[in-house]
Amino acid sequence: MGWDISKLVERAKAGDVSAFDELVRRTYKSTYQLALKLTGNVDDAFDVLQESYFRAYGSLKKFRADSSFPTWLYRITSNCASTLIASGKARSHEILDRAAQVADTSRESDIEEMASQSIDRDRIRTALMSLPKRLQIVVLLRDVYGFAHKEIADRLGISESAAKVRLHRGRVKLKEELGKIAKSRIRGAESDVELPRAV
């Protein structure tokens, strides 16, 4: 097929299944790579990929070319990956290894410092998964997987400045959530301590 993507989208919208198959063929590799980076696991990446194309096919008639088809598909893929991770059904714990290291070393965030102070992976996962999805995905892409701001913006179909704002808000919220978790664990530990009885 020699059609460009916009023509393939129009044909697929009109019910041409072969046109949608061609869209899948042209976007499969980059979409899979994104799913793999977000999930850190081949099986999860394939699950996300399948769900992404399923959702894209079902929503194709609502696609309005405000962004390119690949950008729209990246957004769907990011949402599917975020949903899988938040559900706790992800098969891999590799994301925790990376989250504990935190790829971004800018002084804007002291997440890495907190991780080095023995904040365990369960706390990081809990705090990360408690973020609103639009903030969570930007923090994952930047701080866990090391995507550049422009790459994040392109994949999510937002401006680079919007990506930076979401990242800042996500980091602030993440620090707040980590603080809350730490406080609740301290309170829990204190309640477990038996005080000496008065004689």
Residue 198, token pair as written in the block? 């008065």
* Claim to verify: residue 9 and residue 82 sit in the same structural domain: yes
Question: What pLDDT score does 197 carry?
Answer: 54
* Claim to verify: residue 134 and residue 71 sit in the same structural domain: no
Owning domain of residue 166: 94-192
Contact (CB, 8 A) for 142 and 181: no
* Claim to verify: residue 116 and residue 183 sit in the same structural domain: yes
Q: Where are the beta strands (DSSP E) in 37-163?
A: none
Question: What pLDDT score does 134 carry?
Answer: 83
Q: What is the DSSP string of 13-32?
A: HTT-HHHHHHHHHHHHHHHH
* Claim to verify: residue 13 and residue 38 sit in the same structural domain: yes
Q: How many Cβ atoms from other residues are within 10 Å of residue 127's Cβ?
A: 24
* Claim to verify: residue 102 and residue 170 sit in the same structural domain: yes
Q: Of all residues in the chain, what percent carry a pLDDT higher than 70? A: 73
Residue 119 in this model has a pLDDT that exceeds 70: no
* Claim to verify: residue 163 and residue 131 sit in the same structural domain: yes
199 within a domain of the structure (yes/no): no
* Claim to verify: residue 149 and residue 63 sit in the same structural domain: no
Q: Which of 57, 87, 117 is the last residue of a domain?
A: 87
Phi/psi class of residue 15: alpha, beta or left (left: φ > 0; alpha: ψ in -120 to 50)? left
Residue 195 in this model has a pLDDT that exceeds 60: no
Question: What pLDDT score does 89 carry?
Answer: 65
CA distance 178 to 183: 9
Express each pLDDT in 38-71 by its tens digit.
Answer: 887 888 889 999 999 999 999 998 888 777 898 8
Question: What pLDDT score does 95 carry?
Answer: 46
CA distance 165 to 158: 11
* Claim to verify: residue 182 and residue 102 sit in the same structural domain: yes
Whole-number average pLDDT of the chain:
76
In the chain, the N- to C-terminal Cα span, in Å, equals 89
Length of the chain: 199
44 within a domain of the structure (yes/no): yes
Q: Which of 87, 120, 149 is the last residue of a domain?
A: 87
Express each pLDDT in 72-113 by its tens digit.
Answer: 898 899 888 888 877 766 654 444 444 444 444 444 445 545
CATH code, domain carrying 50: 1.10.1740.10
